[in-house]
Amino acid sequence: MIGKSLAHYDILETIGSGGMGEVYRARDRKLDRDVAVKLIPSAWRHDERALARLRREAKALAALNHPNIVTLYSIEEDRENVFLTMELVEGQPLGALIREGGIEVGEFLKIAIPLADALAAAHGKGVIHRDLKPSNIMITETGRVKVLDYGVALVTHESKLTDADRTAGTASYMSPEQIAGGEIDGRSDMFALGIMFYELLSGTRPFRGEHPAAVMYSIVNEEAPRLSVRPEAVADVVHRCLEKEPGRRFASAAELLRALQELASTTGPRRGSAQSDLPAPEIQAAYDRSDFGEVCRALWVAQQQRDLSAEELEMLATSMMWISKITEAVQTREKAYAAYSKSGRNTDAARVALDLVADYIEKGAGTVARGWLRRAERLLASEPECREHGYLLRRQTAEAMGRSDFSRAMELNQRCGEIAARINDVDLQVIALHDRGQILIARGDVEEGTGLVDEAMTSAVSGEVSPMTVGVLYCRTMSVCKAIADYGRAREWSEAARGMGEPYAASVFPGVCQVQSAETLRQQGLWADAERAAREACDYFMKTGLENHAGEALIEIGELALRKGNFDEAEEAFRQAHERGHDPVPGLPLLRLAQGKAGTAQQIITRALSECTDNRLRRAKLLAAGIDIAVASGELSIAEAAVGELLELSRDFRCAAFEAHALMGRGVLELERGDGSAATRTLRKAWSIFKERAFPYDAARARTLMARAYIETGNKEDAKLELEAACKTFRELGAQPDLQRASEMIERST
C-alpha cells in the first residue's frame, strides 16, 4: 500500500498491524495533515452485517471526545476498501516505561489517572475497549497519555455479544470472564488496566506462563503476588482491579478514578510542582456543584503549599470569573495558559487562549482579544480535530459578523456545527445553532433566524447544556430581541429562564443580562424596574472593572433620564458612556433636540447615520430618531428619505416596531404638509401597532400626534380623548416633558 492512495489519503508508511487490520501513516490532502489510516481486513469488506455493525460502532466511537482517547475522524468506503481515519499519535508505547523494579508512585499516578479518566469517559458512552495492553497506550512527546486502538471495542447499547466478542482481546491482558466466554462489561477493561498498573509498579506481569494457554490458566486460577509498594493504599487499588470476580472490582472506572485521585492528593511532592495534573476530588466535587467560592478557597490554600497544576489554575480562573473576581481571573487564566504552553499541550493552551479572547472582549480590549485569537489559531493549526477547533471557528464567525461578511460567517458556522456533531459536543451544537440564527437575522432572514434562536433557547431552559452556555445563550437572545425590537419574545424567554442562574448570581452574567433586559423593561413601560436594573448593572461593572458593559448601562440610564425630563442626569450619563467608548446615539441628539438645539441634534444624527452603513438593525433605530430630528430642523426631504428607508428595513426584517416608527414619521410629515385626514389614518395605524406590541410610551406619543391631526381637521372632541389617554400614560410612566406638552395641548384646544 505504500505510495498508493485511498480517496484523498496518500499512504506514507506502515505503523502497525493486527487482527483488525493494517495501520498506516497517511497524508490527508484536503486538510493538509498526517493521519492514521486503519485498513479493515478483506473478510469484513463483503460481510454486510459486519460492516453495518462497524458503522454503528464507529459512530459511537467518534463521539468519544476526550484528551486521552485517540480521535476517530471518519469511516470511509470505496469499491475495494473500507478504512478508518484517526488522529495520528506519535510518541512511545506504555511498554517502554516498564522497567525492572517499577516506576515511582508519583510517575505512576500521572499515567494511571488519565487512563482511568479515559475509560470512565468511554464507559459512560457505553464503549468497552476489550483489548487494553501497553502497545495500545501511547505516551506522547509532551507526556500526554493516549488510549489507542478501539478496533475491537464493544458498544454495549448497540451490539449483542457473540462468542467471538466475549473472547476478543490479547491473552496476557484478558479478564477471567473474557477467557471463560462469559458476560463482559467495563470491569473487564479494569482488569486489563490492573495488569498494566502492576507491570508499571513492579516491572513484571502478575500472571505468567510459558505460552498463552498457561498465562490464561494463571489469570483464571492464580492470585497475583502482593505488590511491594508504598503507600500500601496504592497496592490495594491495583489488587482490587485484579479481583477474579467482577463484582469485587471497582464498580466503575469513575470510582477507580476517584480512588486514584485520592491517592494523588495524599502522595507526591508538597512544594515546587503540582502533585497531580487533576484537582483533588473534594475540589472537583465543589466545582461540579457550582460552589465556586469553596473552589477558590481550597485552591488558594493548596497554592500556599505547592505550585498549582495547569488544570488547577484553569479551574481557579473559571471559579474566580463566576464570583466576579474578573481581574484576578484573567491573570490566573494567563498563568494556566503559560503552564499548558510550557509543557507543549497546544490544545489545552488554545482552549485557555480562546477563553482569554472572551475575557478581553468583555473588558473592551479588542486589540488584546484579537492577539489571543491569533495565538489560538496558531496553536491549533497542526493539531488533530477536537472541540477547541469548533470554538475557534465560533470566534472566527463572530469576527466575520463584525465585518458584516455574512456569507463567510455562515461558512464558518457550518464548519463549527459539523465539528460539534462529529464530536457530540451538545453545548457547541446548541451555540452554533444560535449563532446561525443570529447570522440569518442580520442578513434579513428574520423568521428562519428567530426560529433557530428559539430552538437553541429551548435547549437552555430544558437543562441540556452547561450553566456557562445557558448564560451565553440567554444574553445573546436578549441582544437579538433588542436588535429587532421584539420585546415580547424577550419577555417570554426571560420568564422561561427565570431561576436558571441562581447558583451563578454573583457572576458576570446577571450584570450583563440586567443591561440587556433594561431596554426591554423600558419599552414595555416598566421604567422603575428598567432604571433599577441599569443602575445595579452599572454599579456592578464599575466595581469589577468591566468598563465596556458599564458604558452600555450608562446609555440606558441616560435614555430613561431623558424621557423623564432629567436632562442634566442624561447629559452626565451620556458623557460617561462616551468616555468608555460608546457612542451615545440616538440618546444624545434627542437630548439636544429636547434642549432646543435642533441644528446640533441634526449634525450628530447625520454623523451617526453616515458611519452606520453595515449594521442595518442599528441603523433602523437611528433612523427612527433621525425622522423626529429632521422634522424639527425643517429638513423635510431628509425626513422623507428616512421614512422610506425605515419602511424598507421594516419589510426586510419583518419588524412591526420599525414599521410603526416609520408610519409615525410619515404621519408627522403629512401634518407638516397640512393633510390632517391622511395623518389621522397613518398615525392610528402606528398607534395600533405600538399598542399591540405593548409599547406604552410610543403608543402615547402616537396618540398625541393623532390629537394634533384631529385639531387640524377641527375634531376637538376626539383630540381631547386622545390627549387625555396620552396624559394618563405619560403620568404613570413619569414622562414629564411629554406630559407637559400634552397638557398644554388640552388647554389650547378647550
Q: Which residues are catalytic?
A: 131
Which 3 state secondary structure label does DSSP give 498? coil
Q: In the structure grid, which three cell numbers stand for residue 709, read together?
A: 391631526
The residue assigned the cell 409599547 is 695
Please provide the DSSP assignment of 9-37 as one string. Answer: EEEEEEEE--TT-EEEEEEETTTTEEEEE
CA-to-CA distance for 189 and 123, rounded, in angstroms? Answer: 9
Q: Are 750 and 720 in contact (CB under 8 A)?
A: yes
- Is the preceding peptide bond at 231 cis, omega within 30 degrees of 0? yes
Between the CA atoms of 184, 186, 187 and 193, what dihedral angle is there, to the nearest 10 degrees? Answer: 120
Of 120, 22, 105, 26, give the one whose Cα is nearest residue 69. 120
CA-to-CA distance for 650 and 654, rounded, in angstroms? Answer: 5
First vs last Cα of the chain: how many Å apart?
A: 99
CA-to-CA distance for 251 and 238, rounded, in angstroms? Answer: 14
Instruction: Name residues whose C-beta falls within 8 Å of residue 564's C-beta, 6 or more positions apart in sequence.
Output: 527, 734, 735, 736
Phi-psi region of 386 (alpha: psi -120 to 50; beta: other; left: phi over 0): beta
∠ CA 550-553-554, nearest 5°, is: 85
Identity of the amino acid at 239 = H
Q: In the structure grid, which three cell numbers stand for residue 602, read together?
A: 441634526
Q: In the structure grid, which three cell numbers stand for residue 167, read together?
A: 473472547
Phi, psi of 550 (to 5 degrees): -60, -40
486-492 CB contacts, 8 Å cutoff, 24+ apart: 486/450, 486/655, 486/657, 487/519, 487/520, 487/523, 487/524, 487/693, 487/694, 487/695, 488/693, 488/694, 489/450, 489/454, 490/517, 490/520, 491/520, 491/524
Pairing of strands 137-140, 82-86: unpaired
- Scanning 484-546, the segments in alpha helix (DSSP H) are 487-496, 508-523, 527-544
CA distances from 96 to 107, 202, 292, 706 (A): 14, 14, 41, 87
CA-to-CA distance for 513 and 515, rounded, in angstroms? Answer: 5
Exposure letters 692-709 (e unless 16+ CB within 10 A, then b) = ebebbbbbbbbbbbbbbb
Helices (H) and strands (E) in the chain, counts: 34, 11
**Chain CA centroid to CA 253, Å:** 28
* Radius of gyration from C-alpha coordinates of the chain: 33
Starting from the edge strand earliest in sequence, which strands make up the sheet with 33-39, in order? 5-6, 9-16, 22-28, 33-39, 82-86, 72-77
Of 706, 700, 710, give the one whose Cα is nearest residue 737. 700
CA-to-CA distance for 593 and 294, rounded, in angstroms? Answer: 53
Q: In the structure grid, which three cell numbers stand for residue 293, read together?
A: 467560592
